[in-house]
Amino acid sequence: MSLPQPVRGTHDLLPEDYLRHAHVRETAREMASRFGYAEMATPIFEFTEVFARTMGESSDVVSKEMYSFESRSGESMTLRPEYTAGICRAFISNGLQQNVPFKAFAAGPMFRYERPQKGRQRQFHQIDVECIGAAEAKADIEVIAVGASILHKLGVLEHCTLEINTLGDQESREAYRAALVDYFSDHKSSLSKDSLDRLGRNPLRILDSKDKGDRILVENAPLFTDYLNSFSSEFFAEVLDGLSLLGINYELNRRLVRGLDYYTHTAFEFVTTALGAQGAVIAGGRYDGLIEMLGGKPTPGIGWAGGIERLAMLMDDVPIAERPIAIVPVGETAEAFTAKLAYQLRQEGLNIEMAFKGNVGKRMKRANKLNARAAVLIGEDELARNVCSLRDLDQGEQSEIPLSELSAALGALG
């Protein structure tokens, strides 16, 4: 019988990997909080309609990538492939319309049936920021600034480029859609099957095609900027001016689009080539039509999602776990006392390691293997005198101190 393996597209997060992931998550939580984004969570699965209605039945995510199942009551459920739709659903179902702007941060696992590759798994993890109820360009600037601040705090901003574009308002979008239909209709014979299917439903999705023949056609397709009305142009200019004011560098990418109908105005990605082929580590945009699509009142919104796996891979420095203090009983007489001492020190906030068995030599070897900062040795003689031996494992020095001073001495270690 072969040894059990994780399901294809999933992976175990062992302690060192988990430390990197946790560092990304905690850094993002801290920086988002500074901007007033409070953490929340939605269920890992939702009614399938939440995603199908918002992402579109014809989208690749809905038609090919979602993990859906039927509940015992016969209802279709789906493991969340992204956070935005679930957070917007929560905004509606919890009656948060009076709390706008509603600013949320979230982090957790997502599920998509994709071809596993570097930085992309079928169970993956994201950080997510959403600002719901703010129509002003200042919200776009802030949301992007949150992302830039997180990347800076992680030490990876220098490896990333902010690419940005505008999708305009609904009027501009309809004019551009008509132009794309005219253009691609003249090249139907060269379009891939998927793009032919998209031509009638949502031609903007053709711009995202990975087919080589489609990419050649896309290079000469009309540009969105040629169909923007004055309001959309002014809105985008305000966003760019705001980013410049904050010192956030960007590059215009006129081919950057979002194919879903609820997206408007700002679309952006922080991309990197440090992981091989260019890929996005944070991607987002304004989705002013999404809440209405879910059955709520028309409410503007903007947000982004970032891949924790990719961000963790970008980090040069591995976060260092807190080094423990080893408690080492010398002889059986001290076993019970040191177990109680270890428990008390843990309650005081210290990271204490105490082996379950072994002589002094074996326990000290384990302390060194765990990179312990110091070791506290207590035997029958030390117990009788209410003292202990404190060994500094970095300096190699050992001193005897009263047990009443042990907590303070451990706290003073660098």
* HEC sequence for 91-103: HHHCCHHHHCCEE
pLDDT score for 48: 92
Which superfamily does 15-169+229-314 belong to? Bira Bifunctional Protein; Domain 2 (3.30.930.10)
Q: Is 176 annotated as a binding residue?
A: no
84 labelled as ligand-binding?
Answer: yes
Is residue 198 annotated as involved in ligand binding? no
Consult the annotation and say whether 183 binds a ligand. no
* Per-residue pLDDT of the chain in tens (414 residues, 90 and over written 9): 577 898 888 889 998 889 999 999 999 999 999 999 999 999 999 999 998 887 765 566 666 788 898 999 999 999 999 999 999 999 999 999 999 999 999 999 999 987 777 667 899 999 999 999 999 999 999 999 999 999 999 999 999 999 999 999 989 988 998 999 999 998 888 899 888 888 877 888 888 788 888 889 988 899 888 999 999 999 999 999 999 999 999 999 988 887 676 789 999 999 998 887 668 999 999 999 899 999 999 999 999 999 999 999 998 877 778 899 999 999 888 999 999 999 999 999 999 999 989 999 999 999 999 999 999 999 999 999 999 999 999 998 999 999 999 999 998 886
H-type alpha helices, 104-162: 137-154
Q: Is 130 annotated as a binding residue?
A: yes
Architecture of domain 325-411: 3-Layer(aba) Sandwich (3.40)
Q: Is 80 annotated as a binding residue?
A: no
Q: Calculate ∠ Cα 64-108-56, nearest 5°.
A: 30
- pLDDT value of residue 189: 85
For the chain, what are the domain ranges?
Answer: 15-169+229-314, 325-411
Which of 278-281's residues contact partners 24+ apart within 8 Å by CB, and which partners?
Answer: 279/119, 279/310, 280/307, 281/151, 281/156, 281/160, 281/306, 281/307, 281/310, 281/311, 281/314
- Is 112 annotated among the ligand-binding residues? yes
> Is 83 a known ligand-binding residue?
yes
Question: pTM of the predicted model, to two decimals?
Answer: 0.87
The response to whether 114 counts as a known ligand-binding position is no
What is the pLDDT, as a whole number, of residue 375?
95
What three-state secondary structure class fits 215? Answer: helix
**What would the DSSP string read from start to end of 54-91?**
HH-TTSHIIIII--EEE-TTS-EEEE-S-SHHHHHHHH
Omega before 101 cis (within 30°)? yes
